[in-house]
Structure 1
Amino acid sequence: MEKRLAPGDRVELLAPDAVRRHAEGLAALLVDAVDDGASVGFLAPLEAAEAAAWWAGAAGNRDVWAAFGPDGAVTGAVTLLRAGTANGRHRGEIARLLVHRSARGRGLGRRLLAAAEAHAAATGLTLLVLDTQTGSPAERLYRGAGWTAAGTVPEYAADPAGVLRPTTLYYKLLAA
């Protein structure tokens, strides 16, 4: 049974300066994800300083949404990276959809994904792509949100323990 969002839960698009301001909370979220086994580009153990440096580098290079709990703590995040080529201006990539273990089951992942999708469509993107570890709980979320599996690549990325795992690529066409 899914927990309902707390009255103070909110999701917001962060300006680059806000990403830097919330770097500590975003870093703690990323460390939590890696500690929980999420294959999000980092090996365990992930140091908070490395996670904070990644978020600092993300500021201004991608759109970042954060979920905040009633106490103001960062409870989730997602990023949208736009294609940098002239022939790819219509597409973007959803990356690092993270929900802290303490905040799971409240619909935050769905809300974060929906916010990024709506913004992408409103800003002219018509295609989104993402990849996720095959067999991960995230696959159910993406399929439920209307994403289509395009295929699986064996040994695509290492999990936090360094073991190569398959990755499933997904896409979603947005209304023009």
Structure 2
Amino acid sequence: MERLDAAVELARDAFEVAELFVHPGTRGGGLGRRLLGGAVAGWPRAWLITSPQAPAARLYQALGWRQVASLPADYCPEPELAVFATRVGVPV
């Protein structure tokens, strides 16, 4: 029940970033930062699931997002997946 309560609290009044991709040829120009900022603007919190080894994970962390949980290996053994979250405008 504890995990369920934590998941409910994380998702309550929060924006879920389901997918966000930037073409490799345009990376590094701030497009991903602007897209993510626009997507979560107006929401008190936001969260997403990605691999901590994904290139985008570095962007999320640079923007103040924090890894708050890892998904169990029996859920998705490869690649490792984790939940990242932020309070919009305030790092978690």
Give TM-score, length-normalised by structure 1.
0.40
2:19 corresponds to 1:96: yes
Q: Which has the higher contact order (CA 8 A, sep 6+)?
A: 2
Unpaired runs of at least 5, structure 1: 1-86, 159-163
Instruction: Name which of 136, 139, 142 aligns with 2:54.
Output: 136
Flag as ranges the 4+ runs of structure 1 deviating above 4 A. none
1:34-113 aligned within 5 A: 88=12, 90-113=13-36
Deviation at 1:146, TM superposition (A): 0.9
Aligned residue among 64, 85, 88 for 1:171: 85
Residue by residue, what CA displacement relative to the aligned partner does 1:100-135 show, whole Å, maximum 9, x if unpaired?
1221121111111111122xx2xxx31211011121
Q: How many residues align?
A: 78
Q: 1:131-171: CA deviations, max 9, x gaps?
A: 1112111111001111111022243447xxxxx21111111
CA distance in 1, matches of 2:80, 2:72: 4
Deviation at 1:92, TM superposition (A): 1.5
Q: CA deviation at 1:97?
A: 1.1
1:145 paired with 2:63, answer yes
- Supply the AA of the counterpart residue of 1:100: H
Structure 2 gap segments, 5+ residues each: 1-10
Q: Contact 1:153 / 1:167 at 8 angstroms: preserved in 2?
A: yes
Structure showing the higher strand proportion among its residues: 1
Q: In the aligned structure 2, how far is the partner of 1:132 from the partner of 1:147?
A: 12
Conserved 8 A contact 2:68-2:85: yes
Tell me the distance in 2 between the aligned counterparts of 1:144 and 1:111. 13
Greater radius of gyration (CA): 1
Instruction: Give the alignment partner of residue 117 of structure 1, picking from 24, 40, 44.
Output: 40
- Identical counterparts, % of pairs: 35
